[in-house]
Amino acid sequence: MPGQQGGTLRGAWNNLRTYATQIPTLQAFPGVHVISTGTQAGMGALGGRFEHYAPWKTIDGHRLAPTGAPELEVLVRGVFAPAVLLRSLLASKASGGIVFSTMQKFGLGKEDREAGRGFPLLSDRRNIV
């Protein structure tokens, strides 16, 4: 459950799998998926097994993060720093644009699921899922 005290990485991974089942288009775009308890964090691929999600170990790409640093902070600062992210996105691209995607953590409530309602259309643009 989101924001639940005592949440686990396994629970976050299970939530991610549930979202992928309920929102199949999440699987259409390969990318980095992060699971977190708020301090602990792991990164992996959406279809990957739980054991394949792992914490990030460095903020600057050279030295290990300080002992005791929150895993989520290390991962966000180390992986999603603009220079690192752009370099990794552009490393194998001869030309073209950049695609950024964001996954909002939400789900249908019990009433919506029972009524057969789907997720609302957030935009008419075809390049947004």
For residue range 68-86, list pLDDT tens digits in order. 999 999 999 988 887 777 6
Domain locations along the chain? 9-99
Would the pLDDT of 94 be above 60? no
What is the residue-wise DSSP string for 37-78?
Answer: SSS-EEEE-TTS-GGG-B---BSSSSSBPPTT--HHHHHHHH
Q: What is the pLDDT of residue 48?
A: 84
The string of pLDDT tens digits covering residues 22-50 is 888 877 766 778 899 988 999 988 778 89
8 A C-beta contact, residue 37 and residue 18: no
pLDDT at residue 2, as a whole number: 46
Q: What is the pLDDT of residue 87?
A: 67
